[in-house]
Amino acid sequence: MSEYLPFTRPTIDAQTIEDVGDVLRSGWITTGPKVEQFERGLADYLGGQRQVRTFLHATGALEEALVVCGIGPGDEVIVPAMTFAASANVVVRLGAKPVLVDVDLKSRSLLLDQAAAAVTPKTRAIMPVHLNGLAADLDGVYALAKQHRLRVVEDAAQAIGTLYKGRKLGSFGDLVVFSFHANKNLTTIEGGAVSLTSPEEARTLEVLRFHGITKYPDGTMDVTRAASKHNMTDVAACVGLAQLRRLDEFNHKRRQLAYRYFELLGDEKLGVVPARGDEGHSWHMFTLLPHYNKACPDRKTLRERMHKRGIGLGIHYQALNQFTLYKNMGYPEGRFPNAERIGRETVTLPLFPAMALSEVERVCEALGECLTTA
């Protein structure tokens, strides 16, 4: 029987494990020289002209990016209805209101006409989400932001290495937040980073990620605000450095796998495939909206059948208004038809650098069997 194929799996090589051992033996395992090295490496990867600050996790990075923008009680932030819950949760945690808008069915990017209609005098920021590694329409987003004097906080959690019109996400723009969670294209096990232009705002992020503390050369410190604690460890940064060296290789393999899926599923006989994008798409995930039918009536049935065949399917994601928190905020079912359809029907197919192209064929063959045989 074939080995079980999950929808994702991190690629950690022997050299990384050895390097982590060296960090553990060094006696300096929390924030230190490896974090500094990783931040410099990220800045260089993005072009060298950006300020990059790492965080313990992307959720904290996203929340503090909003704090830097001055988001607080009474403010509104435009957020796509199809994204991971953290995108909107951080807005709520700051006492602000996430104003949800629907997304395009295939690209999963927020619909700009709905975003424009959602702007009110209370709107302070817009949060485009580069879902699955496909860049959102940033020309449109930044034009809207400029028109209404909004800050832009890009949720690029799934898009490290993605290009927009030939430029890496995070090499330009307002504030861009990446995730390095275990299932991301680059992992630090848990982790995140903010890329931005302003040195002053970068220094604010440093304060926000470590108790609100400013340290002085004589060893004393001051606390200027009641901040949280989000600092990355040297152990995590060590993993990140090894991953960064291979990121373009990883993303190239992801594109190869995605293109094979398109060759086998592009006729859409089994389901609606995602937007293909261009060579800049980093393909964090490949999602499908299967054509359910009498033989296979729903997602639960499909996932169970695929599991029996040794293949794992993920769900990315439910629409935000399919969660109690946001439903109770006045976003009832039916408000966002595209996001809700994705939330009900989507499955995430296996895609990670260690996969072979033959395994894509195995997945598609199993899909055909599971969707057409009762």
Beta bridge partners of 176: 154, 195
The number of CA neighbours under 13 Å toward the Cβ of 233 is: 13
Backbone φ/ψ region at 288: left (φ over 0), alpha (ψ -120 to 50), beta: beta
CA–CA separation, 296 and 301 (whole Å)? 6
Decide if 288 contacts 273 (C-beta within 8 A): yes
> How many residues in the chain?
374
User: Which string of b and e fits 57-75 if b means at least 16 CB within 10 Å?
Assistant: bbbbbbbbbbbbbebeeeb
Q: What distance separates the 2 farthest-apart alpha carbons in the chain?
A: 73
Q: Is 300 a catalytic residue?
A: no
The number of CA neighbours under 13 Å toward the Cβ of 292 is: 14
Decide if 59 contacts 90 (C-beta within 8 A): yes
Backbone φ/ψ region at 34: left (φ over 0), alpha (ψ -120 to 50), beta: alpha
What are the DSSP calls for 99-153, one per residue?
EEE-B-TTT-PBPHHHHHHH--TTEEEE--B-GGGPPP-HHHHHHHHHHHT-EEE
From the candidates 34, 168, 184, 253, which is the catalytic residue? 184
- What is the helix (H) or strand (E) element at residue 54, kind and residue range? strand 51-55
The number of CA neighbours under 13 Å toward the Cβ of 182 is: 4
| Number of CB atoms found within 10 A of residue 206's CB | 16
- Catalytic residues, by residue number, are 184
